[in-house]
Amino acid sequence: MIPALPCLQFKTMSHPLQCLLIDNDEDDQEIFAMALKEISPVISCTFMSSGIMALEKLKTDLSFLPSLIFIDLNMPLMDGEECLLEIKKLSHLEKVPIYIYSTAALPRLAVRMKELGAADFIVKPSSFKKLIELLSGIFQQHKSIFL
């Protein structure tokens, strides 16, 4: 088991940490969930297999307010860019950081996604350890949301 970063004190949060991962690849969802569990057992994540499903939930269930949203760029029916644009229209989510999470490592895509309102463009790491480090860094960056 890889320990959480010492500065991440999720057990003392005033409200639970809820993430949303929108990704049509079930293997990527499972690996993401395992990484979150390694980081902290108090992190929960909702998984949606399409942008369409995620938008339906985000529009109709106003009690569902994720702390962070991760969107795969390459999905059928509605790609990550379109999903990002639609989520950015939802005023109740305007302060929620949204990360594009993709296998594509093209700098021009990263620039475009940030211009469209993504907090950042992150490339899916090649190892489980690197995914844990990446996600831990993101949670550290946004720790004020969770405390």
CA contacts within 13 A on the Cβ side of 3: 5
Asked if the structure places residue 1 within a domain, the reply is: no
Indicate the pLDDT class of residue 118, thresholds 50, 70 and 90: very high
CATH of the domain at 34: 3.40.50.2300
Q: Classify residue 39 by burial, with Cβ atoms within 10 Å: 0-12, 13-18, 19+.
A: buried
- Chain centre distance of CA 26: 15
pLDDT for position 15: 54
Residue 10 has pLDDT above 90, yes or no: no
Asked if the structure places residue 10 within a domain, the reply is: no
Output the pTM of the full model: 0.87
Kindly report the average pLDDT of the chain as a whole number.
87
Residue 68 has pLDDT above 50, yes or no: yes
Indicate the pLDDT class of residue 144, thresholds 50, 70 and 90: low
Asked if the structure places residue 5 within a domain, the reply is: no
Domain that holds residue 85: 17-146
Q: Considering only residues 42 and 78, tell me which one the structure prediction assigns the higher pLDDT.
A: 78
pLDDT for position 145: 64
Cα separation, 34 vs 55, whole angstroms: 24
Query: Which stretch of 12-21, 68-77, 79-88, 136-145 has the lowest confidence by average pLDDT?
Result: 12-21
- Chain centre distance of CA 112: 18
pLDDT for position 1: 42
Q: What are phi and psi of 123, to 5 degrees?
A: -90, 135
DSSP annotation of 45: E
Q: Considering only residues 106 and 2, tell me which one the structure prediction assigns the higher pLDDT.
A: 106
In the chain, how many domains are there? Answer: 1
pLDDT for position 142: 79
